[in-house]
């Protein structure tokens, strides 16, 4: 997985970067069908004029883009919240595709087993 940082704040240590990346990498277990090189993680760390911190995380895959935006006071806490939001989005897409496959299989079964003379 390729990681790209967009830093607009100067006070981010290497330890914080490593912690943020570690928290966001947990979502990769749901994206096993993609190769390591196909998944991109973009992390934007910013601070506005009032001193409020801002974290935006995007996971790009060949099929989808998952994006999370969090405001707060600590980058590590915000990374955890962003990770949970990304996890929810990824699970939603995976469940949707799984449900569509099941539904398609059911309709094929109906077409094959239902009598032609039956009324619907």
The pair phi, psi for residue 107, each rounded to 5°, is -70, -35
Contact 96, 41 (CB under 8 A): no
Whether the Cβ atoms of residue 45 and residue 8 lie closer than 8 Å to each other: yes
35 lies in some domain = yes
Assigned domain for 120 exists: no
Indicate whether 65 belongs to any domain.
yes
In a domain, 38, yes or no: yes
**Is 118 inside a domain boundary?**
no
Q: Tell me, what CATH number does 16's domain have?
A: 3.30.160.100
Count structural domains, the chain: 1
94 falls within a domain:
yes
Q: For the segment 45-91, what is each residue's pLDDT rounded down to a tens digit?
A: 998 888 888 899 999 999 899 999 999 988 899 999 999 999 999 99
Residue 42's alpha-carbon distances to 25, 76, 79, 101, in angstroms, are: 11, 16, 12, 31
**Torsion sign over Cα 81, 85, 90, 95:** positive
What's the pTM value of the predicted model, to 2 decimals? 0.77
Q: Which domain holds residue 109?
A: 2-113
């Amino acid at each position: 997985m390729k990681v790209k940082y967009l830093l607009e704040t100067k006070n981010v240590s290497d330890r914080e970067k490593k912690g943020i990346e570690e928290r966001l990498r947990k979502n990769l277990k749901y994206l096993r069908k993609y190769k390591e090189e196909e998944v991109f993680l973009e992390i934007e760390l910013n601070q506005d004029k009032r001193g409020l911190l801002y974290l935006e995380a995007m996971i790009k895959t060949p099929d989808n883009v998952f994006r999370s935006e969090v405001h707060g006071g600590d980058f590590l806490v915000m990374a955890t919240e962003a990770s949970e939001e990304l996890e929810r989005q990824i699970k939603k897409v995976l469940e949707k595709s799984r449900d569509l496959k099941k539904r398609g299989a059911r309709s094929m079964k109906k077409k094959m087993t239902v009598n032609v003379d039956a009324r619907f």
